Amino acid sequence: MCLVRATVERAAEVLHFREADARAIVRSVDEALANVMRHAYRGRPGLPIEMSCRKLQLGGQNAANGGIEILLADKGVPVKPTALKGRPFEEIRPGGLGLHFIRQSMDEVEFSRKKGKNLLRMVKYLSPTPQVAASEGEQKCR
Amino acid sequence: MQIAARPATGGTILDITGDIDLAHSPAMRKALLQEIREKKTPKVFLNLEKVRYIDSSGIASLVEGLKASRDQGSRLILYGLSKTVREVMELSRLQKIFEIHDSEAQALAS
């Protein structure tokens, strides 16, 4: 897991995500992988999880500044939609926080099941840098 | 992840080093519950200065430790949280239910 975290962190750095956003992406991937191991694979070790990352191009739909798309696929038991809610925050008890972390950290989160695989798609968009925001502001003033 | 225990005023300090993730949170949970339930230590200080990362399973272990300490009438005190750890605490909205201090000196004086 620490190797995956380091790899994802590096990918986020290369794509110029701010530190806080890079940490959010790392956290989401880590929590998603943990959920697959715990729930889809029910704690059995050594089972495959496929992960791919794709740079979203500048100016794409909802991605004026680009971003990153991360796809996870596993062959575990189907995930029940009711299990994708997480626990209410007001309940102070262990567990049920991973999904909250993912949803709070990423801009888009989609679960699906295709061809016997659980699929998770997570997207994080790049926030405008202060320089870009400033230059856009200047243009509007002209 | 490594855990080392040392005596402190009124209790024990558990120094945690490394990442508290799915693979390592059971060890921290075990150490915490041993200190709280078995040794009945009145104050357990958790030194998180050298923790680079904590995930939801680590937070769950801390919540379990907190509940155990409340049951025992003891105190679980956290200190030295990094930006990353503090961020996860805030995301989980649990930062207010834990006793958190910036430094060891402040934690011991509490």
Residues of A in Cβ contact (< 8 Å) with B57 = 34, 98
Could you say which residues from 58 to 117 on chain A have a Cβ atom under 8 Å away from some Cβ of chain B? 89, 92-95, 97-98, 100-101, 104-105
What span, in angstroms and rounded, lies between the C-alpha atoms of B3 and A35?
A: 25
Say whether B57 and A30 touch across the interface (CB within 8 A).
no
Number of compact structural domains in chain B? 1
pTM: 0.82
Give yes or no for residue B32 having a pLDDT over 60.
yes
Mean pLDDT of chain B: 94
Mapped onto helix, strand or coil, the DSSP state of residue B103 is coil
How do residues B64-104 score in pLDDT, each as one tens digit? 999 999 999 999 999 999 999 999 999 988 888 999 999 99
Residues of B in Cβ contact (< 8 Å) with A104 = 91
Task: Determine if residue A42 is left, alpha or beta; phi over 0 gives left, psi from -120 to 50 gives alpha, anything else beta.
Answer: left
Residues of B in Cβ contact (< 8 Å) with A37 = 22
How do residues A11-59 score in pLDDT, each as one tens digit? 999 999 999 999 999 999 999 999 999 889 998 988 999 999 999 987 7
pLDDT average, residue stretch B33-53: 96
A5, A27, A106, best to mutate vs chain B, most B CBs in 10 Å:
A27
Return the residue of A nearest to B64 by Cα: A94
pLDDT of residue A134: 43
How far off is chain A from B71, nearest CA to CA, in Å?
Answer: 14
Mapped onto helix, strand or coil, the DSSP state of residue B30 is helix
Say whether B92 and A30 touch across the interface (CB within 8 A).
no
pLDDT of residue A139: 39
Give yes or no for residue B21 having a pLDDT over 50.
yes
Say whether B22 and A89 touch across the interface (CB within 8 A).
no
What span, in angstroms and rounded, lies between the C-alpha atoms of B16 and B62?
A: 13
pLDDT of residue A80: 74
How do residues A70-122 score in pLDDT, each as one tens digit? 999 999 999 876 666 666 655 655 567 888 899 999 999 999 999 999 999 99
Give yes or no for residue B39 having a pLDDT over 80.
yes
pLDDT average, residue stretch A128-133: 53
Q: Is A21 touching B (CB cutoff 8 A)?
A: no
Task: Determine if residue B30 is left, alpha or beta; phi over 0 gives left, psi from -120 to 50 gives alpha, anything else beta.
Answer: alpha
Tell me the residue range of the domain where B91 lies: 2-109
What span, in angstroms and rounded, lies between the C-alpha atoms of A54 and B62?
A: 35
Contact assessment for residue B55 and residue A30, using Cβ atoms and an 8 Å cutoff: yes
pLDDT average, residue stretch B36-53: 96
Residue B12: CATH number of its domain: 3.30.750.24
Domain boundaries, chain A: 2-141
pLDDT of residue A1: 82
pLDDT of residue A135: 46
Q: What percent of chain B has pLDDT over 90?
A: 90
Give yes or no for residue B11 having a pLDDT over 50.
yes
CATH of domain A2-141: 3.30.565.10
Give yes or no for residue A61 having a pLDDT over 70.
no
pLDDT of residue A133: 43
